[in-house]
């Protein structure tokens, strides 16, 4: 097993230990970490027939929508009008994470605090409304903030401006692995010592007619329109596709020394990061799961974590036929005999697929699992697929002595990302 993340790297720098000190979530089952986590542990279902537009002509007609969200609860009205819905979500989740970490109550060097918040599609609602306005009234009808509302990087920029975080700034877009990549990239920045604090994650709000219709055209979404609540069913024999969701997950990561100096609460330690490409297909995962295997194995090696120390995997678990069985095989290849003792679950069964934000929301969930020892369930898995032979925690949440866990994300285009969290201890 390779060096631990606190040992000297082969590039000559001594890696700083990195911990999770703040969590923020805007999800279909709850706003804020308390509501979100409670919803996960009781198996709350956030999927229903679409209400944001009339889905009657679409092959799929359900989604996991964020309900009861008011941007003005987090942003002044004038600023909110200049932001797309995806930026509303990301900003609110960032404010939640900053508050949860207690950063609003302490002084710190804002030149050494950065922001990495990605998105897959960005301002899809703005684009669609702008196109309709252009066709109806001509180019002069477009508002001056049209471009800034739709840009993927604008959420990260607005958060940086608002909180005066003047360190590293980035906005990755790597399809469904975006949130995991954003957190992994922030992890590397902190390891190198290029910042003390990083806000990281992703936000998505693409339940709009064109974006949703485009995903319908891929034939990867569930068509269980007569029973929306049962549509997202990862690892179930009768699954027929994923269910689109929306929302944001944002975390505060800190160098351990900085967190200890300000006596911050620590949820977990981020130990390792793996990032690979299938180099195979636009949408389908590589059949043997080689990229998934290398991402998981690389994250474990990066963090110096032995397979037997891992008790839980927060799976990508999309509810698509190919992804679930290939991910299951990849887990078996990485963990061997230990895979029989692993707990595995997919929270997409409850919140749907938050697209680029899925990995960030799942990282938030995994950090809570490390902190509490509670594994959220995979709901709707009524008849486990024989080709998915792992313990998917299908009978309600379980409590275990959890020392380390993985959070997996695998995206369109073949991007694979994995993060390893472990219980924080003073000694690495």
216 flagged as catalytic: no
> Which residue of the set 206, 316, 371, 418 is catalytic?
316
> Which residue of the set 206, 216, 353, 371 is catalytic?
353
280 flagged as catalytic: no
- What is the C-alpha R_g of the chain? 20
Taking a C-beta distance cutoff of 8 angstroms, is the pair 250, 96 a contact? yes
371 flagged as catalytic: no
Specify the DSSP class assigned to residue 325: H
Q: pTM of the predicted model, to two decimals?
A: 0.96
Quick one: tokens of 128? 């669609």
Q: Which pairing describes strands 312-314 and 343-345: parallel, antiparallel, or unpaired? A: parallel
List the one residue out of 87, 68, 28, 16 whose CA is nearest residue 351: 28
Does 300 or 283 have the greater pLDDT score? Answer: 300
Domains and CATH numbers, the chain: 18-261 (3.40.47.10), 272-422 (3.40.47.10)
> Which residue of the set 88, 155, 176, 206 is catalytic?
176
* pLDDT tens-digit readout, 13-35: 679 999 999 999 999 999 999 99
CA 408 centroid distance within chain: 9
- Residues ≥6 apart with Cβ < 8 Å to 335: 307, 310, 342
How far apart are the C-alpha atoms of 87 and 77, rounded to whole Å? 14
- With cut-offs at 50, 70 and 90, classify the pLDDT of residue 284: confident
Which regions of 127-217 does DSSP assign to beta strands (E)? 169-170, 197-204
* pLDDT tens-digit readout, 285-316: 899 999 999 999 999 999 999 999 999 999 99
pLDDT of res. 10: 45
How far apart are the C-alpha atoms of 196 and 302, rounded to whole Å? 20
List the one residue out of 25, 4, 18, 15 whose CA is nearest residue 350: 25
Given a cut of 50, is residue 129 above it in pLDDT? yes
């Amino acid at each position: 097993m390779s060096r631990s993340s606190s040992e000297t790297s082969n590039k000559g720098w001594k890696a700083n230990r990195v911990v999770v000190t703040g969590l923020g979530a805007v999800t279909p089952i709850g706003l804020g970490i308390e509501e979100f986590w409670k919803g996960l542990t009781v198996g709350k279902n956030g999927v229903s027939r679409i209400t944001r537009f009339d889905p009657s002509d679409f092959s799929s007609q359900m989604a996991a929508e964020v309900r009861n969200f008011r941007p003005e609860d987090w942003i002044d009205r004038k600023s909110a009008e200049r932001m797309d819905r995806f930026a509303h979500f990301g900003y609110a989740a960032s404010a939640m994470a900053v508050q949860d970490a207690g950063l609003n109550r302490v002084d710190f060097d804002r030149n050494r605090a950065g922001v990495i918040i990605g998105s897959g599609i960005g301002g899809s609602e703005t684009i669609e409304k702008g196109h309709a306005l252009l066709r109806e009234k001509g180019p002069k009808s477009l508002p001056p903030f049209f471009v800034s509302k739709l840009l993927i990087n604008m959420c990260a920029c607005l958060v940086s401006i608002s909180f005066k975080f003047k360190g590293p700034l980035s906005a990755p877009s790597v399809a469904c692995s975006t949130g995991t990549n954003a957190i992994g990239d922030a992890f590397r920045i902190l390891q190198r010592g290029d910042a003390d604090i990083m806000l990281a994650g992703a936000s998505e709000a693409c339940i709009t007619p064109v974006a949703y219709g485009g995903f319908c055209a891929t034939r990867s979404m569930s068509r269980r329109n007569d029973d929306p609540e049962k549509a997202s069913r990862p690892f179930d024999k009768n699954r027929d596709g994923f269910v689109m969701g929306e929302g944001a997950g944002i975390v505060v990561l800190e160098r351990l020394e900085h967190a200890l100096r300000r006596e911050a609460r620590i949820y977990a330690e981020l130990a390792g990061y793996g990032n690979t490409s299938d180099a195979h297909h636009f949408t389908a995962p590589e059949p043997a799961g080689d990229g998934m295997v290398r991402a998981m194995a690389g994250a474990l090696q990066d963090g110096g974590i032995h397979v037997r120390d891992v008790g839980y995997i927060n799976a990508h678990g999309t509810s698509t036929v190919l992804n679930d069985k290939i991910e299951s095989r990849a887990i078996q290849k990485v963990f061997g005999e230990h895979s029989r003792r692993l707990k595995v679950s997919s929270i997409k069964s409850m919140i749907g697929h938050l697209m680029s934000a899925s990995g960030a929301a799942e990282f938030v969930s995994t950090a809570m699992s490390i902190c509490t020892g509670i594994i959220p369930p995979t709901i709707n898995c009524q008849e486990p697929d024989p080709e998915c032979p792992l313990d998917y925690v299908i009978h309600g949440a379980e409590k275990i002595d959890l020392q380390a866990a993985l959070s997996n994300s695998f995206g369109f285009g073949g991007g694979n990302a994995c993060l390893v969290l472990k219980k924080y201890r003073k000694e690495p």
